């Protein structure tokens, strides 16, 4: 079985202290920094873009896991690569030519992931999954932190795992020490956690996820 990785989402960090928050989360034992980019179109909320990511790039050497919740993400892939992304995740629902967008991401030498909204079936990635480094199963509707875990996500994780035995499976939304265990059992190995990590002692919260 794959090692469990924890990817705290800076969506729940103090934006006025973003650099220090990234340093603190690195010290606390995070594996990735999960970076939620929202455009107010694909999702009903706006966060930040490539310049903000670039500004925190020199604060840590951890993997920058960039989750693009934006329409037509192919327009900005190069910008996010230049800003320091190590993994770029696009939504299957947001790009008309998913295969082309995946190849574009990989052409820059960074890892490629595809995310599925709660209502999107796994079939949407059936013909591209072998090209992917990571599949992101959304366990809430994207747009906000602090929402409740959607239980159907467990079945979806199992379906993705049945389709491909080696791809990284990331779960995002409502992950706590109470919901992470069933996701691990279903076959996921990378866990985004926003409100859970940032609402307590970062090190203790990350540890409690790894111990589940």
- The footprint of Zn ion (CB under 5 A) covers 36, 67, 172
Confirm or reject binding of residue 73 to ligand DX5 (CB under 6 A): no
Of 36, 39, 65, 133, which one is the catalytic site residue?
A: 36
Q: Residue 70, interface with ligand DX5 (CB under 6 A)?
A: no
Q: Looking at 31, 65, 133, 172, which residue is catalytic? A: 172
> Under DSSP, is residue 172 helix (H, G, I), strand (E, B) or coil?
strand
Taking the C-alpha atoms of residue 173 and residue 142, their distance in angstroms, rounded to an integer, is 8
Contact between 196 and ligand DX5 by CB under 6 A: the answer reads yes
> Among this protein's residues, is 26 annotated catalytic?
no
CA diameter of the chain: 42
Between 67 and 161, CB nearer to ligand DX5: 67
Q: Can you give the C-alpha Rg of the chain in angstroms?
A: 16
CA distance 82 to 101: 17
Site string for ligand DX5, 144-183 (x = CB under 6 A): xxxx------------------------xxxx--------
Told to check if 91 binds ligand DX5 by CB under 6 A, we report no
Judged by CB, which is closer to ligand DX5: 101, or 117? 117
Render 63-95 in DSSP notation, one character per residue. Answer: EEEEEEESSSGGGTHHHHHHHT-SEEEEETTT-
Nearer to Zn ion, 101 or 117 (CB): 117
CA 99 to chain centroid:
19
132-154 b/e (C-beta count within 10 Å ≥ 16 → b): bbbbbbbbbebbbbeeebbeebb
76 binds, among ligand DX5, Zn ion, none (CB under 5 to 8 A by kind): none
Determine whether 133 is an active site residue: no
Q: Taking the complex as a whole, how short is the minimal distance between the CB of residue 69 and Zn ion, in angstroms?
A: 7
In angstroms, rounded to a whole number, what is the distance separating the alpha carbons of residues 118 and 157? Answer: 11
In the bound state with ligand DX5, the residue whose beta carbon lies nearer, of 69 and 98, is: 69
């Amino acid at each position: 079985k794959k090692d469990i990785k924890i990817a705290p989402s800076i969506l729940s960090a103090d934006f006025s202290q973003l650099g220090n928050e990234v340093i603190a989360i690195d010290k606390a034992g995070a594996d990735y920094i999960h970076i939620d980019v929202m455009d107010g179109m694909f999702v009903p909320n706006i966060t930040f873009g490539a310049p903000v990511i670039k500004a925190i790039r020199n604060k840590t050497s951890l993997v920058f896991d960039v989750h693009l919740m934006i329409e037509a993400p192919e327009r900005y892939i190069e910008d996010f690569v230049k800003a320091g992304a190590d993994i770029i995740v696009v939504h299957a629902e947001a790009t008309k030519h998913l295969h082309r967008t995946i190849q574009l991401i990989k052409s820059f030498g960074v890892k490629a992931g595809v995310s599925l909204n709660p209502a999107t079936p796994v079939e949407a990635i059936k013909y591209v999954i072998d090209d992917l480094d990571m599949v992101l199963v959304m366990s809430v509707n994207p747009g906000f932190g602090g929402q409740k875990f959607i239980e159907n996500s467990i079945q979806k994780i199992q379906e993705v795992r049945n389709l491909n035995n080696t791809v990284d499976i990331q779960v995002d939304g409502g992950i706590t020490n109470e919901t992470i265990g069933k996701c691990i059992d279903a076959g996921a190995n990378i866990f985004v956690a926003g409100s859970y990590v940032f609402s307590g002692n970062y090190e203790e919260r990350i540890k409690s996820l790894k111990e589940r």
